[in-house]
Amino acid sequence: MLIRYKNAYKKVAMGLLSYMPSERNLRHLQGTICFYETDPSRKLYLWKEDQRIIGVIGVLLVDEYVLELQHISVLPSFRKQGIAKSMIKELMDLYPNKLLTTNEHTAECASHYGLIRYLDKTSQRHISTHIH
């Protein structure tokens, strides 16, 4: 189940985000958390299963029609169980009228998790990749 990020979850969220290659530097990671805490257009959610937080997903509300996937990460011991797909599905249920796009940091990750195919097959909403 997706839960909204709160300051009480800061260490857990930072730990999960640190699994992303773009977030391995501590100062950069602290800046990322600060963006989510202070910028109302950025939303961070945690994935809770059996009273344990095992995933994180962050988006940027680009405009009234578009969400950009900024971050997505699952604890290594819980990977390959469909959790990333479940996080995306619940996120899209929260924002039913928005298109979810990726950026240069999340396009490869979304493709790796099979999220692009998953969303294309299951809904009219889908991830489009960010192309330079």
> For the chain (length 132 residues), average pLDDT per consecutive 10?
97 96 92 96 97 97 92 94 92 91 78 56 47 36
Q: What is the pLDDT of residue 114?
A: 62
* Distance, CA of 37 to CA of 39 (rounded, Å): 6
CATH code of the domain covering residue 95: 3.40.630.30
Q: Which domain holds residue 49?
A: 2-128
Q: What is the pLDDT of residue 105?
A: 76
Residue type, 83: I
* CA trace torsion 101, 36, 87, 72 (10° rounding): 70
Q: Tell me the pTM.
A: 0.84
CA 40 to chain CA centroid, nearest Å: 16
Q: What is the pLDDT of residue 103?
A: 83
Q: What is the pLDDT of residue 36?
A: 97
Domain count of the chain?
1
Dihedral angle sign, alpha carbons of residues 103, 4, 75, 126 = negative
Element (H, E) at 88: helix 83-94
Token pair recorded at residue 2: 């997706």
